[in-house]
Amino acid sequence: MSTVYLSLGSNLGDRAQNIARAIQALGARGVRVTRQSSLYETEPVDVRGCGWFLNGVVEAETEMRPGQLMQTLLIIERSLGRQRRRAEADGPKESRTIDMDILLFGSQVIDDPELKIPHPRMAERKFVLVPFAEVAGGAQHPVLRKTIAELLAATPDQAEVRRWANHQSGQTSGLKT
């Protein structure tokens, strides 16, 4: 069993429901979520002309290998209406019903054209680091050798990240602390 950390985000439709459905789909596909962050409303980063995102991070356990897990995430994204475009890897991103990324997979380091773990830009993204620090601030980045809390404290990212008020008042079945 491997411990993995996944980021989830949505900026289309019922954002909280999209994230909740993605988490349910993880469980149905053999990925057991053990901890969940609060939801955070975040400024769009590298995404053209769109509304704010809801983002969160989950800690989970899986028996899958990293490539299998990535394929599972892509299947879940497609089932929830996400259409990935090849150009997204290099250029501006599009709005999406759901976006799921592997942040860490145990202490593994993978640098393949199709899969990079740890996520290559996570240390630069406050919208990932804030919920990640809530769930596992002491988790260590296997390449940078710093904890998630240390990465958050050092990030130059000034984008706004705020706890989502509707989530705090229990108005969604999304992520829970």
Q: Is residue 174 part of a domain?
A: no
The per-residue pLDDT for 87 is 45
The per-residue pLDDT for 143 is 95
Average confidence score pLDDT of the chain = 86
Q: Is residue 100 part of a domain?
A: yes
CA max distance for the chain: 42
CB neighbours of residue 149 within 10 Å:
16
The per-residue pLDDT for 176 is 39
Work out the end-to-end distance of the chain between its first and last CA atoms, rounded to an integer number of angstroms. Answer: 23
Cα(106)–Cα(71) distance, integer angstroms: 18
Catalytic residue among 14, 96, 111, 125: 96
Q: For the chain, how many structural domains are there in total?
A: 1
Catalytic residue among 82, 112, 157, 163: 82
Using CB atoms within 10 Å of the CB of residue 12, give its burial: 0 to 12 exposed, 13 to 18 middle, 19+ buried.
middle
The per-residue pLDDT for 57 is 97
Domain housing 39 = 2-168
99 is catalytic: yes
Q: Is residue 21 part of a domain?
A: yes
Q: What is the 3-state secondary structure (H, E, C) of the chain?
A: CEEEEEEEEECCCCHHHHHHHHHHHHHHCCCEEEEECCCEEECCCCECCCCCEEEEEEEEEECCCHHHHHHHHHHHHHHCCCCCCHHHHCCCECCCCCEEEEEEECCCCEECCCCEECCCCHHHCHHHHHHHHHHHCCCECCCCCCEHHHHHHHCCCCCCEEECHHHHCCCCCCCCC
96 is catalytic: yes
The per-residue pLDDT for 128 is 95
The per-residue pLDDT for 101 is 93
46 is catalytic: no
**Mean pLDDT value across residues 31-56:** 87
**Mean pLDDT value across residues 107-121:** 93
Q: Is residue 42 part of a domain?
A: yes
pLDDT class for 93, splitting at 50, 70, 90? low
**Mean pLDDT value across residues 125-147:** 96
Q: Is residue 121 part of a domain?
A: yes
pLDDT class for 12, splitting at 50, 70, 90? confident
Cα(29)–Cα(104) distance, integer angstroms: 19
The per-residue pLDDT for 51 is 81
The per-residue pLDDT for 40 is 96
Q: Is residue 173 part of a domain?
A: no
Catalytic residue among 99, 121, 125, 157: 99
The sign of the CA dihedral 158, 20, 118, 136 is positive
Q: Is residue 125 part of a domain?
A: yes
121 is catalytic: no
Which CATH number does the domain housing residue 15 bear?
Answer: 3.30.70.560
Given a cut of 80, is residue 144 above it in pLDDT?
yes
The per-residue pLDDT for 166 is 67
pLDDT digits (tens, 9 = 90+) for 58-89: 999 999 999 999 999 999 999 988 776 654 45
Q: Is residue 49 part of a domain?
A: yes
pLDDT digits (tens, 9 = 90+) for 145-173: 999 999 999 999 888 899 987 644 333 33
